């Protein structure tokens, strides 16, 4: 529950914490720049911050977290940055998967493994496989993900399976998405201050609340999450 102060709407308001939140982890490069460090150090700090942010989400009662790790547009970055980022990612999967598994976290991958180095792609597959039956928390990793691509892929699969036009519904289409069964996103948080949606889960976030904070991703902590949740609670409460 998120408790809002009485002054808000002149009444006591309690809002259920969001069930599913999406996080666009932006600002790693700027974080490094500000410290005179190479961009990859920003990515390293950003990946390390995932643990802290997820702990805060769990404490707040959030069951499903979707993280934007790498977009299909991010291939446009310099090769050195992409390669270095993939290396950091492989290391994190290696280090963290066992912990996630022990905590009952199911890892889901949204995106395509086409074009991803074999070694890294295998690590992703193994982590998903190992944690498949867990159901305490879900961590959905948007890696090599694009929202339009996801919907297009769903449409292709629906056509291939010759689903009858009249049988197609929102519920049925949802089952063809990477996030099948994960449910709508209640809140999307974007760090780094931009207001852009950047191809992030257009279907799943369609009815969600969008919150943008200038805080750079490596600095996003529990108090920043609390601010985002208060913003969410206000947005939901004014909808009553």
Summarize as ranges the residues that interact with ligand IPE (CB under 6 A).
Answer: 24-30, 68-71, 74, 85, 192, 194, 196, 198
Given the residues 26, 28, 140, 186, select the one marked as catalytic: 26
199 is catalytic: no
Residue range at the interface with Mg ion (CB under 5 A); choices 21-29, 47-55, 123-131, 200-208: 21-29
22 Cβ neighbours under 8 A, 6+ residues apart: 65, 66, 67, 68, 185, 187, 188, 189, 200, 201, 204, 205, 208
Residues facing residue 145 across a β-bridge: 71
- Write down the least CB distance from residue 194 to Mg ion, Å: 7
State which residue, 184 or 219, has the beta carbon closest to ligand IPE. 219
Q: How far is the CB of 30 from Mg ion (least distance, A)?
A: 8
Query: Is residue 134 annotated as part of the catalytic site, yes or no?
Result: no
Q: Which of 28, 33, 55, 74 is catalytic?
A: 74
Report the alpha-carbon angle 222-104-138, nearest 5: 65
The closest alpha carbon to 110, from 76, 68, 54, belongs to 68
Q: Does 26 help bind Mg ion (rule: CB under 5 A)? A: yes
Instruction: Pick one of ligand IPE, Mg ion, none as the site partner of residue 74 (Cβ within 5 to 8 A by kind).
Output: ligand IPE
Residue 56 neighbours by CB under 8 Å, 6+ apart? 221, 222, 225
Binders of Mg ion in range 109-148 (CB under 5 A): none
> Could you say whether residue 43 binds Mg ion (CB under 5 A)?
no
Q: What CA–CA distances, in Å, run from 109 to 7, 70, 145, 147?
A: 42, 11, 9, 13
Report the Cα 64 to chain-centroid distance in Å: 9
Contact region with Mg ion (CB under 5 A), list: 3-11, 19-27, 70-78, 134-142: 19-27
Q: Which of ligand IPE, Mg ion, none interacts with 178 (beta carbon under 5 to 8 A by kind)?
A: none
Distance of CA 228 to the CA centre of its chain: 15
Cβ proximity to ligand IPE, 25 vs 57, nearer residue? 25
At closest approach, how far in Å is the CB of 211 from ligand IPE?
15
Q: Is 143 helix (H, G, I), strand (E, B) or coil?
A: strand
Terminal-residue alpha carbon distance, the chain: 16
The footprint of Mg ion (CB under 5 A) covers 26
Tell me the catalytic residues. Answer: 26, 74
């Amino acid at each position: 529950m998120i408790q809002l102060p009485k002054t808000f709407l002149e009444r006591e308001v309690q809002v259920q914490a969001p069930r599913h939140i999406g996080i666009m982890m932006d600002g790693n490069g700027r974080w490094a720049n500000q410290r005179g460090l190479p961009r990859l150090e920003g990515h390293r700090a950003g990946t390390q911050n995932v643990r802290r942010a997820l702990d805060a989400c769990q404490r707040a009662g959030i069951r499903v977290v979707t993280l934007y790790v790498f977009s299909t547009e991010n291939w446009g970055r310099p090769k050195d940055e992409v390669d270095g980022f993939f290396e950091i990612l492989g290391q994190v999967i290696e280090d963290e998967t066992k912990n996630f598994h022990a905590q009952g976290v199911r890892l889901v991958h949204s995106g395509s493994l086409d074009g991803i180095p074999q070694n890294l792609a295998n690590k992703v597959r193994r982590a998903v496989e190992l944690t498949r039956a867990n159901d305490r928390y879900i961590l959905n990793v948007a890696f090599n993900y694009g929202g339009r691509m996801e919907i297009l892929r769903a449409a292709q699969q629906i056509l291939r399976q010759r689903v009858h036009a009249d049988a197609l519904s929102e519920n049925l289409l949802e089952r063809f998405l990477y996030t099948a069964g994960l449910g709508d996103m209640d809140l999307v948080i974007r760090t780094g201050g931009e207001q852009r949606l950047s191809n992030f889960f257009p279907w799943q976030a369609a009815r969600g609340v969008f919150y943008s904070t200038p805080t750079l991703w490596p600095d996003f902590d529990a108090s920043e999450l609390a601010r985002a949740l208060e913003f969410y609670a206000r947005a939901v409460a004014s909808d009553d």
